[in-house]
Each structure stands twice: as C-alpha cells, then as structure tokens.
Amino acid sequence: EQYEPCWLRYEKVEGYYQNLSLFSNIVVKGASPVFHSAVEELSRGISSILGIQPKVVKSVEKSGFILLGTIDDEEVKHRFSSLREFRQMNKEGYTIQSISFNGELSIYLVGKTDKGVLYAVFHFLRLLQMKKDIDHLSIFENPKNQLRMINHWDNMDGSIERGYAGRSIFFKDYQFIKNGNRIKDYARLLSSVGINGVVINNVNVHEAETKLITEEFLSDVAKIADIFRAYGIQTFLSINYASPIQIGGLSTADPLDSSVQQWWKSTVERIYQHIPDFGGFLVKADSEFRPGPFTYNRNHAEGANMLAKALQPFGGIVIWRCFVYNCQQDWRDRSTDRAKAAYDHFKPLDGQFHNNVVLQIKNGPMDFQVREPVSPLFGAMPKTNQMMEFQITQEYTGQQKHLCYLIPQWKEVLEFDTYAKGKGSQVKKVVDGSLYDYQYSGIAAVSNIGDDPNWTGHTLAQANLYGYGRLAWNPDLSAEEITNEWVLLTFGDDPEVVEQVSQMLLDSWRIYENYTAPLGVGWMVNPGHHYGPNVDGYEYSPWGTYHYADRYGIGVDRTVRTGTGFTAQYFPENAEMYESIESCPDELLLFFHHVPYTHRLKSGETVIQHIYNTHFEGVEQAKQLRERWKRLKGKIDEKRYRDVLERLNIQVEHAKEWRDVINTYFYRKSGIGDKYNRTIYK
C-alpha cells in the first residue's frame, strides 16, 4: 500500500546542522505507549533528516544529547523548575530548551505529561525540517483549545459521506479494516498538529454503525483506540439516539424512561470495559430525519443529559450537535428562516445541560457555505459548554477538485467579535472556554481524508487538514505563518515554490467565492451531491435554502424591520451592523438583505455588475492559479506536479461553467447587460 507522507516527509537536510553529536544520543525518561511513539518518531525523523541512527539510552551518559522527559523527572525539575512558564504549563503543554555544557549542545523535549513530550518531538522535527536554528531554543507551548477533534463521516460499508478522497481507512464491507498501518500513519499526522480526539463514524448513524457500541464490534473499536491512544488521541463514536429500540429490544428511546436510562448505563459500562479512556458520544438528534428526544416530547437538554449521566462516572462527554432545523419547510412561506433554527432551539435551554455536555455548533447558521456570517449562538449561552464545528471536507467549496484553502475563512470566524461580554469577546475566546470558563470546549472539524494515495484527493487540500490542526492548537497563529510552515514541510524551501504555492493557497478561497454564489447568498449548487452550479436547484424545495431572486432583485431579508428577524439573534453591536444596509458588509449583503439589482455596493458597483465582474474575474484568477503552478514544473516531483495540474485544469473548466450559468441566469432575470459587454450567453 503506497501513500504519501504529507507534511511528515522528513526529507534529508544536508550541510546545515554542524553539531551532530547530540542527535546520536537520545535519553528517554519514560515508558508509556505515548513515550514509545515519541521515541520512535524522533528516531525516524533524525535518521531520515540527518542520516544518523540515534542510540536510545535511559539516563544521561555523556554531554550532547536530546532528552525526552516530563516535568516530574528529577533532572528536568532541577534544571527548569525556576522558570515561570515551566510552572504554568497546562496538561498538554510542553517546552523545548537548548542548553550548552562545555560547548556541547543538548536539547530537552519536556512535556507536562507524556503527551506533551510527543508534541515537543513533532515540534522539534518541524524545526529541523524547516532548517531553524536549534542552538538557542526556549519554546513554551500550551494548546489554547481543550478539545481538538476530527469528525469522520465514515460509514461501515466503506463509503464516506461528503468524502472526496476515496474510501474509509477504518471500514470496508461492514467490517473493520484489519491492517492498522494506515491508521497509525494517520494518527501520526493528526498528532503532529495536536489533534487529540477522533470520532470514527458518521453523524448519520445507519443500521450497521448503530452496532458499533455492541459486543460485536467493541473489540474492533478498541483496537483503533489503542492505535490512536499511543498518539495522544481519544476515540469517540457517533451514536444513534434510537439505539435502545434498534438494538436494545426496548419499545422506546425516551430519555426519561428508566429502562432506557438503564440500557444506556450498561451500554456505556460495556464500552469502558473495552476502552478505558473512551472519549464519549457525538450526537446528531432530531435533525434531517435522525431520531431524537422530540419523539417523546423531550427537549435537547433532557435528551443529552440522560447520556451524560451514563458517561459521567467514566469521565466521558456528550457532544451534542446544534445543526437542528426543519428540513421540510414550506418554501412559499417567506417568514420561516432556517438560519434562526439553532439559536431558537438551544438558547432557551442555557443552563439546563449537564456539565459533561458540549454543544457543537457549525461556524455559520446555515451549512458550511463559501461565505456565511458567524452563528449567533456563539457566546449566547454563558452557562452551557460550546464548541466549534468546521468542515475541512470541501462539500460546498469545490469538493477537492477546486483549490479552496479554508484557513483564512476559519481565521475570520475565530476572530469575529461576538460582543457577548462587550468588546473583545471573539469567537475564539468562546470556544477556548475562557470567556465563560467552560468545563469542556474546543473545536471539531469534518475530515477531508480517505484512502487515496495522497489522502485528500487534491494534494493541496492536505494544507486544510494541517492548518486546521495548527489553528485548533493556537487560533492566534496567522494564516500566513501556517501556510508557510505547510509549504516548507510539504514542498521544501525553494523560494519560488514557497512564494507561488503560498500565494495560490492564500488567494484561493476568494477566487472560489468569486465564481460561485455571490455576496453571501449561498447554495446555487446541484441538489444532493452539491457540486457545480444550479441556481434554482434548491429554490423550490423544503430545505430552507433560498436566494429569492426575481426580476427585481435578490437576497434574503433577515432584518427585524421587514424580514425574518434573524439579525436580532446577535448581540446589539452586530445586530445593528447587519440590520442596516449601509453598515452590513458587502460580502454578506445578500445573506441579510433583499436588494434590487441596481443597488450600489460600497465599491460603487451595482449588485448586477458586481456579479458579472466577479464571475469573469474568478475564471481569470483560476487560470492564473494554473499558470502559477506551471511555473513550478521541475521544482516539484512529477507525480505531485501532475496530480495538482490535473485538478487545476478541472477547476478552470468548472469555473467557466459556474461563470456562464450564474451570469446568464442573472442577465435573464434582470435584463441588465454587462457594462463591459463581455460574453454572456443570452
């Protein structure tokens, strides 16, 4: 089985590091599986990067070494305990310190716990690959977010819902894949960027996956958990709320029914017998035809708390998704607004959830569109744990055929000020738990990997996975820093390559936005698979996703004054900003307002002319992406060069289709031509 190492390439670095003796001498002060992974990774990295096969010893024998230990180690304590940052490390934190004795350099890779040691190793190897000076290191790192998770939408038949990179690496033909090698390498990739939790199955739990919590499959789940555990990653499962009926032989799944409670209690006990550090459950309930507490006239808090009680004794948590809305709405009724649903359902329940329940909220109020405002639910529940859900898999952003680097989008979301506790209440402070002192909080994202040889379909989509992990670890990193790291690790340090690939990535989201749905209106995709343009595909359907374009204008009026009233869900500063056409940012204009085609944007252009301009420009920009890549021929290995080029060719062709469909549609609706007379198929 051949597949790419992604950013863990460990390419040879020649003639850069002079003082090599420390690399041949690794002192290991610990023995757990996580420690073992750390030592293995460091040895592998050093031998591949420097061509040195290090010797692993248990105590310091000579000067010039790399020491791996935790803060409890006497040698470590003695040396560093006077440092303030050393005493302030959180439980996954670490430090990297260079020290010279008699001209001999030694490096200490020290974690608060074993996990920190592993993270320190990955960080150190990153520095070596990027040819950073290692003589004077004094690095302290603490993850800002507690839960840093990946959600897999993998099904046991081996398919992946919204997967664009092959089949599942966990399941095949309703069984677990026996060979764990690929899962181990996946765990290495995740751990190297600090991911510490994985949900291995789809939130839509079908009949087969419902059985994952039974004896039939728990020993298989436990094997996967063993692999992940050695990399500091906890395993979670998505569950079917109707399990007590479907596999428990009960007649109800009512959370207030004592036989149901008992059933979950013993189910959870059984899970922990197999997996002592099992993370908990991810639950999609009462959403898109999934069962849930509503059937029994119970609310989400009652539904979640019942599971939380069963998990509590073992330290497990319930991650309850807020993606709840009416997917059978009457499209003729313009007053119903799907964007309002999550807030309407959950906000009134603030304070009613157990402290081991976390609400997982999608970044926007709709569904992972190329442009959406931030969900108003963030910050609106001071007494309820909240976490973020991003989508790495590019369901609505080009399905890994188009280049669409999402780090800049996620940065905007995390930096958005909710004003929940006045100025400075950014989303990142809600989800890192600091704004309201949440017990559990963090970030999750839907995976973009599958069994394709390059993991992500589009080679450059690896950057979305890498960047997600880095951002979950530290949301204060800039998109540029993250991008630079990824490019260096993935393609090396040729300045032309670094420059071109970084720019391609950083520009790509806006380029994709340019030739697809305009000004925050969203959708306009083919129903079902969601790829390619179809302006009215969802317009007369029950899913609640409309643009309301007619011959006079376009957009969704979500104002309080004349529309659905959605703007009122934000704290006053943002509510006012979105309510008024003058202060609403152009890029979200059609999300919040219904305007005539002749409405002038802040740029001075009319809406219709803006649509034409961006769609013509978007295609030109897609072509430029391809040109930039072509300049790198010969500087990137042929295989990856061709793979990416192939995708960029597809992108250009499909961008043209987007341009022509959107432009023609709006020309026909509005009857207003392009002022530059470019070709629109009339």
Which of residues 27 and 342 has its CB atom nearest to ligand BDP in the complex? 342
Q: Is 654 helix (H, G, I), strand (E, B) or coil?
A: helix
Q: How far is the CB of 297 from ligand BDP (least distance, A)?
A: 23
Q: 277, 288, 496, 657: which is the annotated catalytic residue?
A: 288
Q: Which is nearer to ligand BDP, 151 or 483 (CB)?
A: 151
Per CB under 6 A, contacts with ligand BDP among 46-105 are: none
Q: Taking a C-beta distance cutoff of 8 angstroms, is the pair 575, 419 a contact?
A: no
Pair 389, 149: CB distance under 8 Å = no
The active-site residue out of 367, 372, 513, 557 is: 367
Has 395 been annotated as catalytic? yes
Neighbours of 449 (CB within 10 A): 28
Instruction: Determine which residue in the list 217, 368, 410, 436 makes contact with ligand BDP, applying CB under 6 A.
Output: 368
Compose the 395-424 pattern: x for residues touching ligand BDP by CB under 6 A, - for all others.
Answer: x-----------------------------
Q: Site for ligand BDP (CB under 6 A): how many residues?
A: 9
Of 50 and 342, nearer to ligand BDP (C-beta) is 342
Look up residue 636 and give its DSSP letter. B
- What are the CB-based long-range contacts (under 8 Å, 24+) for 409-416? 409/509, 410/363, 410/467, 410/468, 410/471, 411/471, 411/475, 411/478, 411/479, 413/363, 413/364, 413/374, 413/388, 414/388, 414/471, 414/475, 416/374
Site for ligand BDP (CB under 6 A): which residue of 126, 188, 229, 284? 284
Note if 367 is an active site residue.
yes
Tokens of 672: 């207003």
Residues 41, 141, 367, 513: which binds ligand BDP (CB under 6 A)? 367
* Window 156-175: residues binding ligand BDP (CB under 6 A): 161-162
203 binds ligand BDP (CB under 6 A): yes
Q: How far is the CB of 158 from ligand BDP (least distance, A)?
A: 17
Q: Please tell me the distance from the alpha carbon of residue 40 to that of residue 303, in angstroms, as a whole number.
A: 44
CA dihedral 246, 250, 251, 254 (to 10 degrees): -90
What residue is closest to ligand BDP based on CB? 367
Task: Quote the least distance from Cβ 88 to ligand BDP, whole Å.
Answer: 37
Shortest Å, Cβ 518 to ligand BDP? 20
Which DSSP string do the residues of 230-249 spell out, in sequence order? TTT-EEEEEE-TTHHHHTT-
Neighbour tally for 428: CB within 10 Å: 23
Active site residue 432: no
Which of 17, 86, 323, 570 lies at the binding interface for ligand BDP (CB under 6 A)? 323
Q: Is residue 390 close enough to count as binding ligand BDP by CB under 6 A?
A: no
Of 106 and 287, the one with the shorter C-beta distance to ligand BDP is: 287
CB-based contact 150:444 (threshold 8 Å): yes
Question: Hunting for tokens 């610990």 — which residue is that?
Answer: 30
- Chain-centroid distance, C-alpha 539: 29
| From 395, 452, 557, 643, the catalytic residue | 395
Q: What helix, strand, coil percent values describe the chain, rounded to 5?
A: 40, 15, 45
Q: Indicate the residue among 134 and 327 with the shorter CB distance to ligand BDP.
A: 327
Looking at the Cβ atoms of 171 and 543, the one nearer to ligand BDP is 543
The answer for residues whose C-beta is within 8 angstroms of residue 91's C-beta and 6 or more apart is: 112, 113, 115, 116
DSSP reduced 3-state for 138: strand
Residue 541, burial from CB neighbour count under 10 angstroms (0-12, 13-18, 19+): middle
300 is a contact residue toward ligand BDP (CB under 6 A) = no
Tell me which residues touch ligand BDP (CB under 6 A): 161-162, 203-204, 284, 323, 367-368, 395
Give the residue numbers annotated as catalytic, written as ranges: 288, 367, 395
